[in-house]
Amino acid sequence: MRRPLIAGNWKMNLNHLEAIAVTQKLAYSLEERDFDAVDVAIFPPFTDLRSVQTLVDGDRLRISYGAQDVSPEKSGAFTGDISASMLKKLDCTYVIVGHSERRAIHGESDELLNRKLRAVLNSEMHPIFCIGEALEIRESGQHVSYVVDQLRNGLKGLHKPDLKKIIFAYEPVWAIGTGKTATPEDAQEVCAAIRKELIKIGSEEISQNARILYGGSVKSANIVEIMKQADVDGALVGGASLEPEEFARICKFHRVI
Ligand code: 13P
């Protein structure tokens, strides 16, 4: 059985003081039975991570956290960048790699993302590798082959022990921040295709154990139907993760399934 993961990507929102307040509220809005059933993770901006670490450690919260991006380089003259080993030192469990906003705004290529995946894996964290198509591709009906290509290109040359550690997130660009959610069937179609491709890239076992998340306008009103899909193992939540009560309601989806 794959354990569900509900991940909150805060993007460029909440300073370190706000991060402490939101994380505390989230922790108090959830009960032990929620943490027993679901992995809950938050992805604050870099400048919040140390504060979140101190709070999670100090209060022994059952919330894990990670970074939204990472440099592919180990160290050196890369002004403004943050290395995987720095994130590991802050006890990050996960790092998001290849979010569509990084691909679109910063022009991140499949080759670069492959290097970032390797950097995260070399520092013994779990990448959350994001893939997803833009609206034109969806409308042309090419979305499945497009996403499968992104998957293959991103994972090029990675070995099975590393493939096992990667979490996948299908985030159709047209559903991000638009209030336009993919239907549960849309999410299932692509998540199933990702799982099928993982048999070829990795193995049957890797495919069966891989956690595949859906992201794009997830909220408490639609999480249950999304989580009912056979190949969807969790959600990568943007806007709704900034409201701790709403994010907690999303994490409680398991109470009704
Ligand atoms: P929204 O939930 O705001 O649509 O964002 C989704 C997302 O990009 C999560 O990474």
- Residue 51: how many other CB atoms lie within 10 Å: 17
Instruction: Please work out whether the CB of residue 172 comes within 6 Å of at least one atom of ligand 1.
Output: no
99 tagged catalytic: yes
| 240 CA closest ligand 1 atom index | 2
pTM of this structure: 0.98
| Cα 112 to Cα 228: distance, rounded to the nearest angstrom | 34
Query: How far, in Å, CA of 98 to CA of 154, rounded?
Result: 9
194-221 pLDDT tens trace: 999 999 999 999 999 999 999 999 999 9
Consecutive H or E run containing 42: strand 39-43
Residue 121's H or E segment, with its range, is helix 110-122
- Cβ contact 251:234 at 8 Å: no
Q: Which of 139, 138, 118, 137 is nearest to 129 (CA)?
A: 118
Q: In testing the pocket of ligand 1, which one of 5, 135, 236 has its CB within 8 Å of the most ligand atoms?
A: 236
Each residue's pLDDT tens digit, 103-116:
999 999 999 999 99
| Ligand 1 lined by 180 (C-beta under 6 Å) | no
Mutate to test the pocket of ligand 1, among 10, 96, 218 (most ligand atoms within 8 A of CB): 218
**CB under 8 Å to 122, separation ≥6 — which residues?**
84
